[in-house]
Structure 1
Amino acid sequence: MTAEARPSNLNVPNALTVLRIILVPVFLVVLFTHPENPGWRVAATAVFVVAILTDLADGHIARKYNLVTDFGKLWDPVADKALTGAAFVSLGILGELNWVIIVLILVREWGITWLRAAIAKYGIMAANRGGKLKTVTQSVALAIYLLGLENLPVWLQVIAQVIMWAALVLTLLTGADYIRSALKIRRDAIAAGTRRK
């Protein structure tokens, strides 16, 4: 019996992942060109939203057409972290988001990304539903904040702050869940005597 052929890394979902990484510096340039100008803030937010939508698109396409690859599993989260990390740090630099929130989220985000890479020899830890909900919540909060809260009505500012706090809670809770999953993957691989070279 022949082994099932794996999809090529040269596919549309992986191309979208690479595009998302490329959009990160574009987003930063637009945001910091005139951060005090509402028009430029809208433009930067638009670039951010387009980049986020590539994340939704690549996952959907990969699953629908069976184009899930190890490259995608590993680099899709990295692309997400690069984009959202750039947005979080930018808001901190602009003085529009508390650095405590930023540091807590980024330590968790990059810590889990490092953990994925560290356990890759035992197995690939794909994103779970909690992680996806966390990403959506972060993305919505960031998109509103990037518009510039001072440019928004008070009610929308309150909603943005509530969503940001929800994103923080989800980020920390799912981080703990990923650590448990990583330990299980490692434990099961050792028990089965399997390990990737």
Structure 2
Amino acid sequence: MNLPNKLTTLRVIMIPFFVFFMLTDVGGNANKWIALALFVVASLTDFLDGKIARKYNLVTNFGKFMDPLADKLLVCSALICLQDLDRVPAWVVIVIIAREFIISGFRLVASDNGIVIAASYWGKFKTTFQMLMIIVMIMNLGGAFDMVGTVLMWIALALTIISLVDYIAKNVQVLTQGGM
């Protein structure tokens, strides 16, 4: 297993620990900071694994499959935790998770037809803003940070929808030619 795949695997392994510290009081007030550190490190592995894989030509089928799955698991887990803590509305979480299911479905149909669909810049911006929003909302510092979190949530939500529309528009042939 190469380094990018190890980073992706590490990201997946970190998710249950992140969720544990988000939703329990085992560490007292330190919990949110431990959860924040885990989320930030996991998010950085997302950036690093792709960068290393492309730079050193270490792209693998495992990485192509697991990297986006690991990202979705991390972000969706965080959003569900934040919704449980009343920091993000349930409908926002539903829209974001629905987008991920739709894109995963597209990728599955494309894969069945031998088509590889690359991530778009809209999708990368979406992920970046989702992660920034999650970081601010985990910190839960109140005051102006609440407004920053709300603004980041709206930007992330807009980018989620824009990236979905862009993805469908660019890949509609997957559905029309895929026998569906």
The TM-score with structure 1 as length reference comes to 0.83
| Aligned residue runs from structure 1 range 98-137, under 5 A | 98-122=89-113, 123-137=115-129
Q: Which structure 1 segments of 5+ residues have no match?
A: 1-9, 191-197
- Alignment-derived partner of residue 28 in structure 1: 19
Q: 1:164 aligns with which of 144, 147, 153?
A: 153
Report 1:19-58 matches (<5 A): 19-34=10-25, 37-58=28-49
Q: Say which one has the larger Rg.
A: 1
CA shift, 1:29, in A, is 1.0
Matches within 5 A, 1:163-182: 163-182=152-171
Shift of 1:32: 1.6
Residues 45, 146 of structure 1: 8 Å contact kept: yes
Counterpart residue number, 2:137: 145
Q: Percent identity?
A: 37
SS in 1 for 2:112: coil
Counterpart mapping for 1:80-91 below 5 A: 80-91=71-82
Is residue 2:20 matched to residue 1:14?
A: no
Provide the rounded CA distance (Å) in 1 between the counterparts of 2:26 and 2:97: 22
Instruction: Provide the alpha-carbon RMSD of the alignment.
Output: 2.1
TM-superposed CA distance for 1:69, in Å, is 2.3
2:178 and 2:24 mapped to 1: Cα distance?
Answer: 49
Cα distance in 2 between the residues matched to 1:85 and 1:128: 19
Aligned residue identity for 1:166? I
How far apart, in 1, do the equivalents of 2:68 and 2:46 lie? 9
Tell me how far apart the structure 1 counterparts of residues 168 and 61 of structure 2 sit (CA, whole Å).
20
In the alignment, the residues of structure 2 paired with residue 188 and residue 14 of structure 1 have an alpha-carbon distance, to the nearest angstrom, of 32
User: 2:144 matched to which residue of 1?
Assistant: 155
Distance in 2 (CA, whole Å) between partners of 1:121 and 1:128 is 20
Q: Structure 1 residues 186 and 67, CA, compared in 2 at 3 Å: closer, same or farther?
A: farther
Corresponding pairs, count: 178
Higher helix share: 2
**Measured at CA, do residues 173 and 16 of structure 1 come closer, stay the same or move farther in structure 2, by a change above 3 Å?**
same
Q: Which amino acid aligns with 1:34?
A: D
Give the TM-score, by structure 2 length.
0.90
